[in-house]
């Protein structure tokens, strides 16, 4: 709703009415009611409406000068609220402009924004003005564009960064501008962003709000959000361009500036709500120790009136904070002038007191810079008293303080590689020790860079302690530091000297490496993150398989029953290992089976190591050229048991057995072997005490006669013996059993009868 001639509904104070007098052709006149144009007219009218609707503003009404808004959650409440509002207007005889009033709507325009149950949306007309705008051609066009963006800046994330190309085009003050490709890309990106402008949310009374900060090379930005039910809803976007002096602020001061700018722009929110600043930078320590900078003192005093807490940043999930993932861009990491000491957050790893019940390592460091050269020395002492000595020579010029920092960084890297958990550091440099403990400020850019690197390394230890010692107690490290340029008598043995090509603060260039999934990927992901395939069968199989593996220092190892941990390799890495063992410097071109076991004994494993070893040996040119030629037949030999029929005989005696017919008590069996061992078999019973004489075949074993002759003689001899026996033929013949299933018509029995049995 809009008041009709709102200013004119306030009467002028009679003594002040004369000051509004004006001359006309008909005489001198003055205003009896408050006219437009008075300096305090707007404030006076605002005080009027605040007094009239004092009990309802913020509950069922919102009033800004002559614009009034009645809000309700239900239709019934809305009618009741309108009745209250109309009663107040009638009481004070205020009038409304019906052409500018709307009743019973779910959304409406208020103060240039669209208000609805969903939240606060940008004015569609203003968005359409930017989207339909043609490419700027003159300075005035760019100014018009930036003005339209400024009207919607609370809806635009990092609005200043998005308009930087336009500001560059305005430099010079020329009428005609140079529209570059960068400007065109920024213009199109701005249109795309405004086509899906975010919806702003309204905070609830007493709700905790969260603030994200971001610093780029040209601006500081922030976003105020609320988190209902783990969602991230934006409330207000803030952005400010850095001026010439602000561009030279250290990174942490620029981050503090972003907080101050946000507090000034969002003062009503900061006064009505508790604010949690989500940052991973030591911003709280900087503002609690502002004595190192005058402007920090002023900012700290300004922020003390608000309820501000500093908490670490969580993993960003919402689209509203997608542009605030990085607090400090790479361009702002290295300061160009004075810097702020970055202190370590209390409670983080590396800040606890040393636990004497666990092993504590000792580190003595010292640096040296003179006309002969620059170097550093360190002595790392293990918990059992063993000393590790190192000397470093620099291929670059440094100051003495920079050399001290290089020695400290080298010692920390060495201790980290030894899996040190707790360390006690000794240095004779007062500056280095006090800067690390935040007692001194790092004003120089180089010192700040070294200090930041040192703090980053110190965070990798569970606890540490650093203190200054006299130079006399640090003579060993001092001697090592001077070893690179001069011989010292205190060093009684050879100490390795390492050459540093560049300062430790210089970032080495690294190429991006693309890794593809290998056989280790599912196992590694399950052991580290608990990731399982969607298929239940595959997931169960992976669980069983992963029980034989473990991860140590981000490296996958295979457990063994009687072997140490085996380092798991990919097929490409395994190919290299096999090639080095097989044909390397000490390679002996061993066979595939031996090659695979050699790789296994060296502590490596991959599933296809035997197949890969066999393939490698087959592809080896020297093995194929000079390998031994096998003379063994391709198929196994077939042994010949007997050279001719009846060449071998088997003899066996079984007995004594129960007496049978004719007092027979001994069983005599013979096995005659021909090409097939069981073709001919003779089994019969005798009563004579001499089975050899009975059989009559003792002289026939080495006979070269044919099978038929040997068989005939044997049968005839048996028949003759049987006829001379005291026992009758009728008693002997039933006990004689000849069998030859492969010679049909062979003689069986004693009557010359032929048959198959």
Asked whether residue 512 is domain-assigned, the answer is no
In a domain, 342, yes or no: no
Residue 756 lies in a domain: no
Q: Which residues of 635-668 are buried (b: 16+ CB within 10 A; e: fewer)?
A: eeeeeeeeeebbeeeeeeeeeeeeeeebebebbb
When pLDDT is averaged across residues 47-67 and rounded to a whole number, the result is 83
Backbone angles phi, psi at 385, to 5 degrees: 95, -5
Distance separating alpha carbons of residues 149 and 122, to the nearest angstrom: 11
Secondary structure of 390-412 as H, E, C letters: EEEEECCCCCHHHHHHHHHHHHH
- The reply to whether 442 and 576 lie within a common domain is no
Give per-residue pLDDT as tens, 325-384. Answer: 666 765 444 433 333 333 333 333 344 567 666 788 899 988 888 777 788 888 889 888
List, for residues 123-135, the tens digit of each pLDDT value: 888 888 888 888 8
Model confidence at 106: pLDDT above 80: no
Within a domain: 345: no
SS3 327: coil
Please check whether residues 487 and 586 belong to one and the same domain.
Answer: no
pLDDT at 696 over 50: no
Which residue did the predictor score with more confidence, 668 or 28?
28
Q: Which two tokens stand for residue 176?
A: 């005609």
Q: Say whether pLDDT at 733 is over 70.
A: no
Q: Which of 258, 114, 134 is nearest to 188 (CA)?
A: 134
The larger pLDDT score, comparing residue 46 to residue 612, is at: 612
Spatial distance between the Cα atoms of 683 and 680, rounded to a whole number of angstroms: 10
Q: Is the dihedral of CA 481, 483, 488, 489 positive or negative?
A: positive
The residue with tokens 């590790």 is 388
- Residues 563, 472 share a domain: no
pLDDT at residue number 194: 84
Residue 522 scores a pLDDT above 50: yes
Q: pLDDT tens digits, residue range 645-695? A: 777 776 666 666 666 665 555 555 555 444 444 444 444 444 444 444 444
- What is the rounded CA–CA span in Å between residue 236 and residue 33? 39
Residue 627 has pLDDT above 70, yes or no: yes
Domain count of the chain?
6
* Closest by Cα among 338, 137, 331, 363 to 249: 338
Report the pLDDT value the prediction gives residue 294, as an integer from 0 to 100. 75
The confidence score (pLDDT) of residue 730 equals 52
Torsion, CA 344, CA 347, CA 350, CA 352, rounded to 10: 120
pLDDT band at residue 511 using 50, 70 and 90 as cut-offs: low
Q: DSSP code of 280?
A: S
Residues in the chain: 757
Nearest to 429 by CA among 476, 365, 361, 333: 365
| Same structural domain, 300 and 215 | yes
Between strands 275-278 and 308-311, the pairing is parallel
592, 625, 658 - which closes a domain:
625
Give the CATH number for residue 326. Answer: 3.10.20.370
Its domain, for residue 617, covers 521-625
CA nearest to 424, candidates 411, 434, 443: 411
Query: What is the enclosing helix (H) or strand (E) of 375?
Result: strand 374-381
The 3-state DSSP class for residue 628 equals coil
DSSP code at position 738: E
The pLDDT value given to residue 611? 93
CA distances in angstroms from 398 to 70, 365, 500, 606, 728, listed in the order given: 70, 16, 12, 48, 128
Indicate whether 692 and 723 sit together in one domain: yes
pTM above 0.85, yes or no: no
CATH number at residue 376: 3.30.420.10
Give the C-alpha separation, 137 to 146, whole Å: 14
- DSSP per-residue codes, 498-556: EEE-S-TTSPPP---------TTHHHHHHHHH----SSHHHHHHHHHHHTTEEEETTEE
Identify which has the larger pLDDT, 202 or 508: 202
Residue 744 lies in a domain: no
- 394 and 486 in a single domain? The answer is yes
Question: Residues 180, 167: contact at Cβ < 8 Å?
Answer: no
pLDDT per residue as tens digits for the range 563-573: 788 999 999 99
Q: What is the CATH number of the domain that holds 55?
A: 3.30.70.270
Q: Do 355 and 495 fall within a single domain?
A: yes
- Indicate if 310 and 224 belong to the same structural domain: yes
What sign has the CA pseudo-torsion 268, 269, 271, 272? positive
User: Do both 494 and 382 map to the same domain?
Assistant: yes
Report how far residue 52's alpha carbon sits from residue 88's, in angstroms, rounded to the nearest whole number: 7
Specify if 389 maps to a domain: yes
Residue 577 pLDDT exceeds 90: yes
The pLDDT assigned to 342 comes to 35
Q: What is the CATH number of the domain that holds 537?
A: 1.10.340.70
Residues 495 and 358 in one domain: yes
Residue pointed to by tokens 């924004």: 113
From 625, 656, 672, the end of a domain falls on 625
pLDDT (mean) for 613-638: 81
Higher pLDDT pick, 718 / 54: 54
Predicted confidence band at 512 (pLDDT cuts at 50, 70, 90)?
low
Q: Coil, strand or helix: which one is 212? A: strand
- The string over 577-598, giving b where at least 16 C-beta atoms fall within 10 Å of a residue's C-beta and e elsewhere, is bbeebbbeeebeebebeebbeb
* Residues contacting 354, CB < 8 A, separation 6+: 360, 422, 424, 463, 464, 465
- 179-183, 333-337, 385-389: segment of lowest average pLDDT: 333-337
Averaged confidence pLDDT in the chain: 76
Mean pLDDT of 237-255: 86
Q: Exposed, middle or buried, 416 (CB in 10 Å: 0-12/13-18/19+)?
A: middle
Write down the pLDDT at residue 729: 52
Q: What is the mean pLDDT of residues 67-94?
A: 84
> Phi and psi (nearest 5°) for 450?
-65, -40
DSSP 171: T
DSSP 331: G
Residue 156 burial by CB count (10 A; 0-12/13-18/19+): exposed, middle or buried? buried
Residue at 633 is within a domain: no
Clarify whether residues 15 and 137 are in a common domain.
no
Distance of alpha carbon 206 from alpha carbon 396, whole angstroms:
58
- DSSP letters, 8-34, are GGSBPPHHHHGGG-EEETTEEE--SBP
Backbone CA torsion sign across 635, 638, 639, 643: negative
The CA-atom distances, in angstroms, between 641 and each of 501, 635, 648, 673, 678 are: 81, 19, 9, 8, 12
Indicate if the pLDDT at residue 542 is higher than 50. Answer: yes
DSSP label at 207?
-
Residues 312 and 245 in one domain: yes
Residue 741 has pLDDT above 70, yes or no: no
In a domain, 751, yes or no: no
In terms of pLDDT, which residue wins out, 17 or 711? 17
**Residue 713: is its pLDDT beyond 60?**
no
Q: What's the first-to-final CA gap in the chain, in angstroms? A: 129
Spatial distance between the Cα atoms of 366 and 411, rounded to a whole number of angstroms: 10
How many angstroms separate the CA atoms of 22 and 11, rounded?
17
Structure tokens at 319: 């689209």
pLDDT per position as a tens digit, 457-484: 888 888 888 988 888 888 887 787 777 5
CA distance 126 to 119: 18
**Dihedral sign for Cα atoms in the order 725, 729, 730, 734:** positive
Q: How far apart are CA 386 and CA 676, in angstroms?
A: 80
Confidence tier at 420 by pLDDT (50, 70, 90): confident
3-state secondary structure of 720: helix
Domain final residue pick, 625, 657, 691: 625
Three-state DSSP class for residue 726:
coil
CA distances from 171 to 136, 174, 178, 247, 470 (A): 15, 8, 10, 17, 58
Strand ranges for 165-215 from DSSP E: 209-215
pLDDT over threshold 60, residue 724: no
């Amino acid at each position: 709703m809009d008041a009709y001639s709102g200013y004119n509904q306030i009467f002028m104070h009679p003594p002040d009415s004369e000051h509004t007098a004006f001359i006309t052709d008909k005489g001198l006149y003055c205003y009896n009611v408050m006219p437009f144009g008075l300096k305090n007219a707007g404030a006076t009218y605002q005080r009027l409406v605040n007094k009239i609707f004092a009990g309802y503003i913020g509950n069922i009404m919102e009033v800004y000068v002559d614009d009034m808004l009645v809000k309700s959650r239900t239709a019934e409440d809305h009618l009741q609220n309108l009745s209250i509002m109309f009663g107040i207007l009638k009481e004070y005889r205020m009038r409304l402009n019906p052409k500018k009033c709307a009743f019973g709507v779910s959304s409406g325009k208020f103060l240039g924004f669209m208000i609805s149950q969903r939240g606060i949306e940008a004015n569609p007309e203003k968005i359409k003005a930017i989207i339909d705008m043609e490419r700027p051609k003159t300075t005035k066009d760019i100014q018009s564009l930036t003005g339209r963006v400024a009207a919607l800046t609370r809806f635009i994330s990092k609005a200043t960064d998005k308009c930087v190309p336009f500001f560059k085009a305005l430099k010079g003050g020329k009428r005609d501008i140079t529209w570059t490709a960068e400007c065109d890309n920024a213009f199109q990106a701005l249109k795309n962003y405004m086509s899906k402008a975010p919806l702003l949310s309204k905070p609830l009374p007493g709700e905790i709000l969260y603030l994200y900060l971001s610093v780029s090379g040209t601006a500081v930005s922030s976003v105020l959000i609320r988190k209902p039910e783990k969602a991230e809803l934006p409330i207000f976007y803030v952005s400010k361009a850095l001026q010439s002096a602000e561009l030279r602020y250290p990174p942490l001061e620029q981050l503090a500036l972003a907080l101050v700018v946000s507090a000034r722009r969002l003062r009503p929110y900061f006064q009505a709500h508790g604010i949690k600043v989500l940052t991973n930078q030591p911003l709280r320590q900087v503002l609690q120790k502002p004595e190192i900078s005058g402007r920090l003192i002023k900012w700290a005093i300004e922020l003390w009136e608000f309820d501000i807490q500093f908490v670490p940043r969580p993993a960003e999930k919402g689209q509203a904070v997608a542009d605030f993932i990085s607090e400090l861009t790479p361009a702002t990491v290295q300061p160009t002038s004075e810097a702020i000491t970055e202190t370590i957050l209390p409670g983080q790893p590396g800040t606890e007191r040393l636990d004497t019940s666990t092993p504590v390592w000792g580190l003595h460091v010292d640096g040296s810079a003179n006309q002969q050269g620059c170097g550093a020395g360190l002595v790392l002492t293990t918990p059992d008293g063993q000393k590790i000595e190192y000397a470093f020579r620099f291929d670059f010029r440094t100051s003495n303080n920079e050399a001290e920092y290089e020695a400290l960084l080298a010692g920390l890297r060495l201790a980290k590689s030894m899996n040190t958990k707790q360390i006690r550091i000794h240095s004779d440099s007062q500056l280095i020790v006090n800067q690390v403990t935040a007692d001194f400020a790092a004003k120089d850019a180089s010192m700040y860079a070294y200090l930041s690197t040192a703090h980053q390394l110190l965070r990798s230890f569970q606890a540490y302690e650093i203190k200054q010692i006299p130079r006399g107690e640090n003579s060993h490290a001092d001697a090592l530091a001077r070893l690179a340029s001069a011989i010292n008598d205190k060093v009684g043995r050879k100490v390795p000297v390492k050459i540093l090509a560049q300062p430790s603060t210089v970032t080495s260039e690294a190429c991006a490496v693309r890794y593809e999934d290998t056989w280790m990927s599912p196992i590694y992901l399950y052991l580290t993150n608990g990731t399982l395939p969607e298929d239940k069968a595959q997931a169960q199989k992976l669980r069983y398989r992963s029980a034989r593996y473990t991860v140590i220092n981000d490296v996958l190892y295979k457990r063994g029953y009687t072997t140490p941990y085996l380092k798991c390799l990919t097929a490409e890495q395994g190919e290299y290992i096999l090639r080095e063992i097989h044909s390397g410097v000490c390679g002996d071109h061993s066979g595939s089976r031996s090659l695979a076991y050699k790789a296994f004994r060296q502590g490596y494993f991959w599933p296809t190591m035997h197949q890969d070893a066999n393939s490698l040996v087959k592809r080896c040119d020297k093995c194929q050229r000079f390998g031994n030629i096998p003379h063994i037949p391709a198929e196994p030999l077939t042994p010949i048991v007997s050279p001719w029929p009846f060449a071998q005989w088997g003899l066996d005696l079984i007995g004594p057995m129960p007496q049978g017919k004719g007092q027979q008590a001994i069983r005599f069996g013979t096995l005659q072997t021909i090409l097939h061992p069981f073709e001919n078999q003779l089994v019969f019973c005798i009563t004579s005490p001499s089975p050899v004489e009975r059989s009559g075949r003792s002289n026939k074993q080495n006979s070269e006669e044919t099978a038929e002759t040997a068989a005939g003689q044997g049968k005839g001899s048996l028949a003759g013996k049987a006829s001379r026996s005291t026992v009758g033929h009728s008693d002997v013949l039933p006990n004689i059993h000849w069998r030859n299933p492969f010679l049909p018509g062979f003689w069986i029995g004693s009557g010359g009868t032929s048959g198959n049995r």
